[in-house]
C-alpha cells in the first residue's frame, strides 16, 4: 500500500495546516513584493485591495446585488482603474474564488486515506468539493457558471489553473491505483480522470440547482464512479 508521504497526505491538524499555509503565503508574498519594483508593488497591492473588496461585498450583499461601482468604492479606486484589472464583475468573481477553490482542492486531496480503494479515495476527494459548495449554494451556482465559459484571457488562465490542479491530483490517485493493481480493468489515466470529474460536475450542477438532494447526489456519484471503474 502507498504510504501517507507517497500520497502527499499531511499528518498535521487542520489548524496547523492553516497556520503553516498562511505563514508560507505571507513569506511568498513578501518575497514577491521584495523582488518587484515600486510600480509593480503598487499594482499588486491595488489588485489585492480590489479582490478583497469584491470578496467582502459578494459575501455580504450577494453577487447579483453587488455592482462594479460598489466594488470600486469599497476598494477606494476609480472605476477606470478597476477595469484595468478585471473586465467585468464576473471576472472578479472568478478571481476572488479561484484561490479558495485551489486551497479546497489541496485540502480535499490531503484528506484522502492512503489505504482506501480508488472508489473511496475519489469519493473523499469529491466530498471535500461538495462540502465547500454547501457553504453557499447560490454563490457556488454563479461561480460554476462563470467557470464554464472563458470569455476573457484572465478567466481562461484562472480556469486553466483550477483544471490543471484538479486533474493532476486525480491522475496521481488513478495512476497509483493502476500501478498497484487496484483497478480491475485496463485504463487510460487521463481519460479516467476526465471522465470521473465530468460525472461529478454534471451531478453537482443538478444538485446546486435543486434537482437532487445531497443524499441522492452522493449516492448517484458513487454509483456512477463504481460503474466507470468496473
DSSP letter for each residue of 125-158: HHHHHHHHHHT-HHHHHHHHHHHT---SHHHHHH
Domain ranges, residue 145? 88-229
Q: Please check whether residue 114 lies inside any domain of the structure.
A: yes
Q: Please check whether residue 43 lies inside any domain of the structure.
A: no
Q: What grid cell was written down for 157?
A: 488562465
| Tens digits of pLDDT across the chain (230 residues) | 444 333 433 333 433 434 444 445 445 555 555 566 777 888 888 989 999 999 999 988 888 899 999 999 999 999 999 999 888 888 888 888 888 999 999 999 999 999 999 999 999 999 999 999 999 898 899 888 888 877 778 788 888 999 999 999 999 999 999 888 888 778 889 999 999 999 999 999 999 999 999 999 999 999 999 999 98
The conformational region for residue 212 under phi > 0 = left, psi -120 to 50 = alpha, else beta, is beta
Q: Please check whether residue 206 lies inside any domain of the structure.
A: yes
Whether the predicted model's global pTM rises above the 0.85 cut:
no
38, 221, 34: which is closest to 130 by C-alpha? 221
Q: Please check whether residue 187 lies inside any domain of the structure.
A: yes
Q: Please check whether residue 218 lies inside any domain of the structure.
A: yes
Task: Work out how many domains the chain is built from and give that number.
Answer: 1
CATH number of the structural domain spanning residue 107: 1.10.357.10
Amino acid at each position: 500500500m502507498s504510504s501517507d508521504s507517497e500520497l502527499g497526505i499531511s499528518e498535521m491538524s487542520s489548524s496547523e495546516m492553516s497556520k503553516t499555509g498562511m505563514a508560507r503565503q505571507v513569506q511568498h508574498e513578501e518575497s514577491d513584493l521584495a523582488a518587484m519594483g515600486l510600480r509593480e508593488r503598487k499594482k499588486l497591492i491595488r489588485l489585492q485591495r480590489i479582490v478583497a473588496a469584491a470578496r467582502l461585498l459578494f459575501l455580504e450583499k450577494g453577487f447579483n446585488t453587488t455592482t462594479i461601482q460598489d466594488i470600486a468604492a469599497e476598494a477606494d479606486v476609480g472605476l477606470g482603474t478597476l477595469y484595468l484589472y478585471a473586465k467585468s464583475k464576473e471576472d472578479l468573481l472568478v478571481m476572488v474564488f479561484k484561490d479558495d477553490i485551489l486551497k479546497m482542492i489541496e485540502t480535499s486531496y490531503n484528506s484522502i486515506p492512503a489505504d482506501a480503494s480508488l472508489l473511496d479515495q475519489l469519493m473523499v476527494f469529491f466530498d471535500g468539493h461538495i462540502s465547500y459548495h454547501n457553504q453557499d449554494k447560490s454563490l457556488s451556482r454563479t461561480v460554476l457558471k462563470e467557470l464554464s465559459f472563458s470569455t476573457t484571457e484572465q478567466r481562461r488562465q484562472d480556469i486553466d489553473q483550477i483544471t490543471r490542479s484538479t486533474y493532476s491530483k486525480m491522475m496521481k490517485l488513478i495512476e497509483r491505483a493502476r500501478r498497484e493493481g487496484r483497478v480491475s480493468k485496463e485504463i487510460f489515466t487521463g481519460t479516467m480522470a476526465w471522465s470521473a470529474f465530468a460525472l461529478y460536475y454534471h451531478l453537482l450542477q443538478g444538485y446546486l440547482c435543486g434537482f437532487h438532494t445531497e443524499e441522492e447526489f452522493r449516492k448517484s456519484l458513487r454509483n456512477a464512479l463504481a460503474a466507470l471503474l468496473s
